[in-house]
Amino acid sequence: DGGITQSPKYLFRKEGQNVTLSCEQNLNHDAMYWYRQDPGQGLRLIYYSQIVNDFQKGDIAEGYSVSREKKESFPLTVTSAQKNPTAFYLCATTSGGNVRNEQFFGPGTRLTVL
């Protein structure tokens, strides 16, 4: 089945540890995005990538890093420099630079840092 996979759905880590969230897609979409959602707030853009081996900072990139070595994969690393990492993380894709294309979202990973 075509779609976007994020695993695991729930993730727990100790404070001070880096953690990498996975996002895989088989939609053959060019662009991929990472968002963070906190309770009572909308989605905030962390990083996005239009093509392989290229990515751009979003609005809240500090404390995060990404890579885009393959078209299908866009992993997000939450580093120990991120002060408030506990949140719901959503990965999204879109098929290209055409602004009419809506973003398709994965199921999300809920990260809790203890």
Give the footprint of another protein on this chain (CB under 8 A). 31, 33, 35, 40-45, 48-50, 56, 58-59, 88, 90, 94, 96-108, 110
Nearer to another protein, 79 or 88 (CB): 88
Q: Which helix (H) or strand (E) holds 24?
A: strand 24-25
Dist. CA 112–CA 76, nearest whole Å: 15
Phi-psi region of 11 (alpha: psi -120 to 50; beta: other; left: phi over 0): beta
Q: How many helices, marked H, and strands, marked E, lie in the chain?
A: 0, 12
Q: Which is nearer to another protein, 22 or 103 (CB)?
A: 103
Using the minimum distance from each CB to another protein, give the nearer residue, 2 or 16: 2
Q: Which CB, 52 or 80, lies closer to another protein?
A: 52
Contact 47, 91 (CB under 8 A): no
Whole-number minimum distance, CB 110 to another protein, in Å?
8
Nearest distance, CB of residue 48 and another protein, angstroms? 6
Shortest Å, Cβ 108 to another protein = 5
Give yes or no for a contact between 34 and 23, defined as CB atoms under 8 angstroms apart: yes
Minimum separation from the CB atom of position 32 to another protein (A): 10
